[in-house]
Amino acid sequence: MPHIVFGATEPAGHRHGHRSDTHRHETDTHRHRHQPERRRAETPDFRFCVELGLVIRSRRRDHKTSSALENEISTQLTRAGIANHVASTHTSPISSQEWTIAGELCIPSRPRDHHFGIKLTSPFHRFSRRPESWQASMHALLDTLNTHFELTTTHQCYTHLHIVPTAGYWSLAQAKGLAKSALYFERCLDALVPPYRRRSVWAKSNRNNRYFAAQSLAGCFARIDGQATFGGLAARMNWTGGASPTGLALGVDPRAKDADFGHDTYRWGFQNLNREGEGFGTVAFRQPPGATSGAEVVTWIMLAGCLARLSCGLGATLEPGSKASLKGLGEWLLYEAEWSGMPNKGLLKDLIRGATPLTTAPGVVAGQDADVITIDDDQRLRWKRDDRDIAVAKYRRLLKIG
């Protein structure tokens, strides 16, 4: 993989110095002619798939069931030349090369109004190889959907990104680097999403989970460094209290000795690494809200992909004693977007520019999850427990595991 010289767009709190883009260009040119290049840590490329959770209604037909709507979505995508299948009727294994259409249990449907919660899961794409191709495919999908269907979002809707290095598995150092970045930049990322995605039971705080909450950031980093296995890292990043709303919804006895457990409904979900073992599996970024346009989806993919690429190489060099800044995060993301040759980098700039200031009510811990959840979310957590994980099925199909 090519290497580059660090420049001004490193994050605040990073151990390296800063330079202007002009100065970087001049000194890089001089270095190439007269001295060895100072190299950055190895940065992997990534494969990803995206899950779009939306409320959808047909513009032409009043469907009474989710399955009827799923079939019409499949028909319209096929007519547009977009390879797809419906999960409930697909008899062969889930394809990693097609969009998969399924009902979504965690999004409330309104059958009387012909609105249904639907999940669309993309094929796996390479992040920095021909990025214009996957960007075009996202626009094509959303353009087709918007032409034939009404797309709306609720607080339960989402855009999930599942990522894994192109090799198909993680090294422990890569996973630890991403884990550190997830904790370090958590409040910065919170500023980029609507307020309801900052306290959602479906995207809980990694920084304030039961394992890390009492620790300083330096203590969190030390505990991440101390993990010798992927299972241990996954458990710490997704540690859930038995007495939490999630634990109670799932019927956990909070008085039991082993009441605390790992669960994947966090901003960054590492549970798949524990499930597959030995570094196999995806890490899921679950915090982005529902997206109804190609531009929105592309923006969230670029954010997750760029953050993951740099985190794997540079997450270990973040200084826990420094304060993360939105400006620093934005510079970091744009630095990698430029290096990766991403078209439409302006979408990332717009996302950062439109960040919502964070405010915390008196007596509330910054970033802390809600103490109670709705009856709907309580019920849907139980339903979701036994639901098929389509992204994992696609990953396993991609690598021919099992």
pLDDT in tens, 265-292: 999 999 999 887 789 999 999 999 999 9
Residue 85's beta-bridge partner residues? 100
Query: Same structural domain for residues 228 and 374?
Result: yes
Helices (H), 149-210: 172-184, 186-190
Question: Is 50 part of a structural domain of the chain?
Answer: yes
Question: Is residue 52 domain-shared with residue 158, that is, in the same domain?
Answer: yes
What is the average pLDDT across 135-163?
A: 97
Please state the φ and ψ torsions of residue 66, each to the nearest 5 degrees. Answer: -60, -40
Partner residues linked to 64 by β-bridges: none
Q: Quote the CA–CA distance of 224 and 322 in Å, as a whole number.
A: 18
Q: What is the DSSP letter of 13?
A: T
- Burial group, residue 402, by CB count within 10 angstroms (0-12, 13-18, 19+): exposed
3 state DSSP class of 260? coil
Same domain flag for 176 and 230:
yes
**Tokens in use for 388?**
């098929």
Residues 218 and 338 occupy one common structural domain: yes
How many domains does the chain fold into?
A: 3
Question: Do 232 and 308 fall into the same domain?
Answer: yes
pLDDT band at 90 (very low <50, low <70, confident <90, very high): low
Residues 142, 60 share a domain: yes
Task: DSSP for 72-107, please give it.
Answer: HHHHHHHHTT--EEEGGG--SPPPSSSEEEEE-TTS
Question: What 8-state DSSP symbol labels residue 288?
Answer: S
Mean pLDDT of 316-329: 93
Identify the helix (H) or strand (E) that includes residue 385: helix 375-385
**What residue ranges in 243-285 does DSSP mark as E strands?**
261-262, 268-269, 283-285
Report if residue 24 sits inside a domain. Answer: yes
- Does residue 284 lie in a domain region? no
Query: Quick check: is 177 in a domain?
Result: yes
Whole-number pLDDT of residue 249: 93
pLDDT in tens, 190-237: 999 999 999 899 999 999 999 999 899 999 999 999 999 999 999 999
Helix axes 346-353, 326-339, angle to 10 degrees: 170
User: 234-252 burial string, b = 16+ CB within 10 Å, else e?
Assistant: bbbbbbbbbebbbbbbbeb
Asked whether 124 and 49 are in contact (CB, 8 A), the reply is yes
Residues 116 and 195 in one domain: no
Q: Which tokens is 378 given?
A: 């309580």
Segments forming the whole domain that contains residue 343: 169-274+292-382
pLDDT-based confidence at residue 20 (cuts at 50, 70, 90): very low
pLDDT (mean) for 175-201: 95
What six digits make up the tokens of 26? Answer: 């001049």
Kindly state whether residue 212 falls inside one of the protein's structural domains: yes
Same domain, 376 and 388: no
Q: What is the pLDDT of residue 40?
A: 52
Residue 287 lies in a domain: no
CA separation for the pair 223, 337 (Å, rounded):
30
Mean pLDDT is highest, among 159-168, 269-278, 357-366, for 159-168
The whole-angstrom separation of Cα 283 and Cα 291 is 20
Instruction: For residues 265 and 352, state if they share a domain.
Output: yes
Q: Are residues 90 and 116 in the same domain?
A: yes
Residue 281 lies in a domain: no
pLDDT level of residue 93 (50, 70, 90 thresholds): confident
Report how far residue 172's alpha carbon sits from residue 323's, in angstroms, rounded to the nearest whole number: 25
Dihedral angle of Cα 52, 168, 221, 7, to the nearest 10 degrees: -90
For range 1-29, the mean pLDDT: 36
Q: Is 130 a domain residue?
A: yes
- What's the distance, CA 375 to chain centroid? 26
The domain spanning residue 156 has which CATH number? 3.30.70
Residue 382 pLDDT > 50, yes or no?
yes
* Residue pLDDT, tens place only, 30-60: 333 332 233 455 688 999 999 999 999 999 9
* Greatest Cα pair distance in the chain: 72
Same-domain status, 359 and 256? yes
Q: How many residues does the chain have?
A: 402
Q: Which pLDDT score, from 0 to 100, does residue 65 have?
A: 96
Q: DSSP string covering 340-375, please?
A: TT-TTTHHHHHHHHTPPPP---TT--TTPPPS---H
Please check whether residue 288 is in contact with residue 270, taking contact to mean a CB–CB distance below 8 angstroms: no
Same-domain check for residues 252 and 325: yes
Is the pLDDT at 138 greater than 70? The verdict is yes
